[in-house]
């Protein structure tokens, strides 16, 4: 499963990719507004930070298909590299996805709340579909079940579209969508600390350290071999 950072903060992403196996960055309009910066500087700064090979997903703010396509071309030209335009799962969005694929622009269909939205976007040619897991749970929908249905139908109909799950509140949701076959997930930068942390790991390391120091003191294996 591909891990992505849901962030518009280049500094935070730089720290994350130094440590974690991250393959790209997703943004959305809300995440961008939180940075309160000039858009061009924010996004070009992010591209510079992650380099040309990592995915960068940026959402259109247009609502009509041809305007979405024009915006996607402008963003792709400005940001270059491995670029994905995020297109909302609307009727105009479906048309935009088809037009964008004719121009070989990579597309993530976003704001997915149902299996049928995902299937339609996949048939239109989306490279990724992004179901919003916790936002579904918040309205009492079995979000993990929705991701499972999407994965099942993509397999059933041999669709190449991949699932990029977004919107999480806890590690269990992440684990459950992974088990359902989500191909990718995107998480805010601080969430990755929750994903790697386990108190038993810390306890195990404390035990090793105590035993080692009792015999060899501060010397490390590399100093002694
Ligand atoms: C999609 O772009 C975002 O990852 C998603 O909206 C985040 O959802 P949240 O606001 O529930 O964290």
Nearest-CA residue for ligand 1 atom 9 is 167
SS3 track for the chain: CEEEEECCCHHHHHHHHHHCCEEEEECCHHHHHHHCCCHHHHHHHHHHHHCCCCEEEEECCCCCHHHHHHHHHHHHHHHCCCEEEEEECCHHHHHHHHHHHHCCCEEEEEEECCHHHHHHHHHHCCCEEEEEHHHHHHCCCCHHHHHHHHHHHHHHCCCCCEEEEECCCCHHHHHHHHHHCCCEEEECCCHHHHHHCCHHHHHHHHHHHHHHHHHHCCCCHHHHC
Q: Please work out whether the CB of residue 186 comes within 6 Å of at least one atom of ligand 1.
A: yes
Pocket test for ligand 1, best of 3, 60, 135, 169 (most atoms within 8 A of CB): 135
Q: Write the CATH number of the domain with boundaries 2-189.
A: 3.20.20.70
User: How many angstroms is it from 54 CA to the middle of ligand 1?
Assistant: 20
Which residue out of 86, 101, 194, 219 is catalytically annotated? 86
Nearest-CA residue for ligand 1 atom 5 is 167
Return per-residue pLDDT of the chain as tens, 225 residues: 999 999 999 999 999 999 999 999 999 999 999 999 899 999 999 999 999 999 999 999 999 999 999 999 999 999 999 999 999 999 999 999 999 999 999 999 999 999 999 999 999 999 999 999 999 999 999 999 999 999 999 999 999 999 999 999 999 999 999 999 999 999 999 999 999 999 999 999 999 999 999 999 999 999 999
């Amino acid at each position: 499963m591909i891990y992505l950072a849901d962030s518009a903060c280049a500094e935070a992403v730089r720290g994350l990719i130094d440590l974690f196996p991250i393959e790209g960055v997703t943004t959305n309009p809300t995440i961008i507004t939180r940075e309160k910066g000039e858009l061009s500087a924010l996004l070009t700064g992010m591209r510079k930070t992650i380099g040309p090979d990592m995915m960068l997903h940026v959402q259109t703010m247009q609502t009509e298909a041809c305007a979405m396509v024009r915006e996607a071309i402008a963003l792709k030209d400005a940001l270059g590299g491995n670029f994905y335009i995020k297109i909302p799962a609307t009727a105009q969005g479906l048309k935009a996805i088809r037009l964008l694929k004719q121009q070989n622009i990579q597309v993530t269909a976003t704001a997915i709340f149902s299996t049928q939205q995902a299937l339609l976007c996949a048939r239109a040619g989306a490279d990724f579909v992004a179901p919003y897991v916790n936002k579904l749970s918040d309205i009492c929908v079995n979000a993990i079940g929705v991701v499972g249905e999407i994965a099942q139908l993509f397999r059933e109909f041999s669709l190449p579209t991949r699932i990029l799950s977004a919107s999480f509140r806890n590690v269990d949701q992440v684990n459950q969508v992974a088990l359902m076959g989500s191909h990718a997930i995107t998480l805010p930068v601080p969430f990755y600390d929750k994903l790697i942390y386990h108190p038993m790991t810390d306890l195990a390391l404390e035990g090793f350290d105590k035993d080692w120091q009792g015999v060899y003191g501060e010397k490390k294996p590399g100093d002694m071999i």
